[in-house]
Chain A
């Protein structure tokens, strides 16, 4: 079963680019990678999702190398409000169903 591993915590400063890497060694061909953001006492919020290469939306980019054993969430020019926990998860097919495998999250602290 696929498992994700990501750093427990990271520190950054306002205006910097932040890259959070997640390892998922056993990801299968048809699995996808999704990132969520969570603030204290709130439910996680979807950020971005991808299968391979690069995906970009208005808030982040997701880089997935050819071997798909890792992925990197890139947050451009972070602000204080980006302080949160970021979760990498892999969607895994289980027969006709799909399970989401969550990592333990990376606690990002953005400092002024």
Chain B
């Protein structure tokens, strides 16, 4: 069974640009969550999607958004990038509240 796949693995963007990250969950998993990880803040929850609906949302500005498609694949978008958005963005999928399986993440660097 394939694991959670995130693309791209690495990304460099300049301030003011926007970026879209993709996550393909484990087959059969309908819940997809996104996290931002930085050295100083640890893992911070961004949002969770279940069956194409946002179910939970963390405390991030509106520049951070996401969506989930009918095949459970998910994307997150960050608009008007700031230097502080540089981080490892992690996606996790789960089935019916069971353990979450994480992808390897997308390392975003904003310059």
Number of interface residues of B (CB under 8 A): 23
A42, closest chain B residue (CB): B104
Interface residue? A83 (CB, 8 A)? no
Assuming the contacts A94-B56, A98-B97, A99-B56, asked whether A45 and B42 have C-beta atoms less than 8 A apart, the reply is no
Scan residues 40-67 of chain A and give those whose CB is less than 8 A from a CB of chain B.
Answer: 41-46, 49
Alpha-carbon gap, A49 to B97, bound state (A): 12
What is the predominant secondary structure among interface residues of chain B facing chain A?
A: strand
- Find B100's partner among A41, A42, A100, A104 (CB 8 Å cutoff): A100
Interface residue? B21 (CB, 8 A)? no
Pairwise interchain contact B45-A42, C-beta atoms closer than 8 A: no
A31 to chain B, nearest CB (A): 12
- Total A-B pairs, Cβ < 8 A: 47
Pairwise interchain contact A43-B45, C-beta atoms closer than 8 A: no
B35, closest chain A residue (CB): A102
Pairwise interchain contact B102-A44, C-beta atoms closer than 8 A: yes
What is the predominant secondary structure among interface residues of chain A facing chain B?
A: strand
A32, closest chain B residue (CB): B97
Taking each of B90, B99, B103, which has the highest tally of chain A beta carbons within 10 Å of its own beta carbon?
Answer: B99
Interface residue? B11 (CB, 8 A)? no
Scan residues 61-77 of chain A and give those whose CB is less than 8 A from a CB of chain B.
Answer: none
Interface residue? B105 (CB, 8 A)? yes
- What are 23 A-B contacts defined by CB distance under 8 Å? A41-B105, A42-B105, A43-B90, A43-B102, A43-B103, A43-B105, A44-B90, A44-B92, A44-B102, A46-B100, A49-B99, A87-B42, A87-B43, A97-B48, A97-B55, A97-B56, A99-B56, A102-B35, A102-B44, A102-B45, A104-B42, A105-B42, A105-B43
Q: Which residues on B are within 8 Å of A, measured CB to CB?
A: 4, 33, 35, 42-45, 48, 55-56, 88, 90-92, 97, 99-105, 107
